[in-house]
Amino acid sequence: MKGFSNELRLILRSRLSTSALLLLLVLAALAVWSGLDQVAHQRQTIDRLAVLHQQDVAAVADRYADSADAGSPAYYTFYNTWDPPSDTAFMALGLRDVAPYVLRIRALGLQAQLYDGETFNPELALPGRFDFAFVLIYLAPLFAIALLHDLVSAERQSGRLRLLLSMPGGSRLWRRRAALRYGLLFACLALPLLAGALISGTAPLAIAIALVISASYLAFWVGLSLLIAARGWSSVANANATVLMGSWALLTLLLPTLANIVLSRAIPVHQGVDLMLAQREAVHGAWEVPREETMRRFFESHPEWRDTAPLPDGFHWKWYFAFHQVGDESVAEQVRAYRAGLEARQQWTERLGWLLPGVGAQAVIHRVADTDLPAQLAYRDRIEAFHREMRDFYYGYLFTDRAFGSKGFASQPTFTPRSREPVSFGYQEAATLLLSWLVFLFGIGRLGALKPNGKARPAGRAGAALQGATADAAL
């Protein structure tokens, strides 16, 4: 412990190291605060719209209290659906920043209503939100590089390296220095995250997984920094920092961007707005289709209403709602292809995370926060299930010509948000942990293999050096 306290005093005496640690702590705290603020804002929006929705429904109920049929109430009544943020959403807002988390729907065709909410300003969505995931994935590696890139070369340049290596237990000295810097960096990330978890009431397992992933991702960059620092390049030329900054740009910016381009070309997915336009075109074209043909297609998917009374002359609400449903069914294959493409991209992104720690860590954090693509698709599934319930409710009135009235308004279906599955530790987390800690242990091993000239011993002769490095790392 005395060795750690001495090393801590050395770090605190360095203005660069102290400033870097304080800045990382401030950034992490601001990111957590921003996430909590956005989550609170979303919850307030949901509550405010719920009150407005009740007022709107009451106005429709008052206007059509004596309605002879369910057509007008079904057409004019909007139903509020919402997806409340989880208690971990403050860590990473994910798709909640661009996808709707509140959606009002009617008993008309659903697809046009679902994807109408996809319209957003791409220039505003491009930067994303400043949240904990952003600080962890993109900023924390830079602070690890700043604290560790000259760990060895600075000592050689000052003339203390040979003395340090000649001391008994020299390998423990380097491991202690690396471990202390790693611990301080992790503390700057973990303390604000724990504070946010306490404020938000996050489940212990969820915050534990987030901390483990954060520690592992940080370990990867510490290990990579140690691997470069142990090569003994001159700190005057800033070769270590240059290589590490190039690695950061490659692993966090360039390769993920190239992978996204490849996935977009290999798995083309049309925009949801295309589905909306196709569905609306089918609905608008239904006015020119014979009513008997529309009802025949409707009864194929809804045989339970086949034996009801035939259409009278002139307009009838059940025909109107039937061709909206037929419009949805006309794009059903496109909807399945759209979803399959999104899920395929998600699967390949998770597989890419096995090789790129940044992608893997980000995928896990968003999954723990319940703000990733599967969470958004689960919300759409809940809307679709409620829409079926809503249509069945109105069909019971429309196809039997029952009067709706105040009793109908009193028995209208109500939406309940989706239930969330408990967070678990899976293959994605294991892959991120394995790669990150292997790099970390290898970096620690290279430090233990330093020679007096400041370079690591080659790892080739009968594997002796590698065994020695592994043994030092195990200590």
468: left (phi over 0), alpha (psi -120 to 50) or beta: alpha
The two beta strands, 79-82 and 102-105, are antiparallel
**Residue 133 near residue 91, CB atoms below 8 Å:** yes
| pTM check: above 0.75 | yes
The span from the CA of 119 to the CA of 117, in Å, is 5
DSSP 3-state of 222:
helix
Spell out the residues 6+ positions from residue 101 whose beta carbon is closer than 8 angstroms to its own. Answer: 42, 46, 82, 83, 84, 85, 379
pLDDT of residue 121: 52
**Secondary structure of the chain: what % helix, strand, coil (to 5)?**
75, 0, 25
Q: Other C-beta atoms within 10 Å of 303: how many?
A: 9
- Checking 379-386 for CB contacts under 8 A at 24+ apart, the result is 379/83, 379/101, 379/418, 380/114, 381/418, 382/81, 382/83, 382/417, 382/418, 383/81, 383/103, 383/105, 383/110, 383/114, 384/110, 384/114, 386/79, 386/81, 386/105, 386/413, 386/415
The span from the CA of 105 to the CA of 291, in Å, is 25
The span from the CA of 182 to the CA of 212, in Å, is 14
Tokens read off for 387: 């829409």
pLDDT of residue 470: 33
Burial state string for 73-107 with b = 16 or more CB within 10 A and e = fewer than 16: bbbebebbbbbbbbbbbbbbbbbbbbbbbbbbbbb
Q: Other C-beta atoms within 10 Å of 458: how many?
A: 10
* Helices 272-285 & 317-330 angle (0-180, nearest 10): 140
pLDDT of residue 339: 92
The span from the CA of 44 to the CA of 3, in Å, is 51
Tokens read off for 139: 């900023």
For CA atoms 351, 352, 357, 359, the dihedral sign is negative
Tokens read off for 30: 């601001």
Segments in the chain below pLDDT 50: 119, 123-124, 235-237, 454, 457-475
For CA atoms 85, 98, 386, 335, the dihedral sign is negative
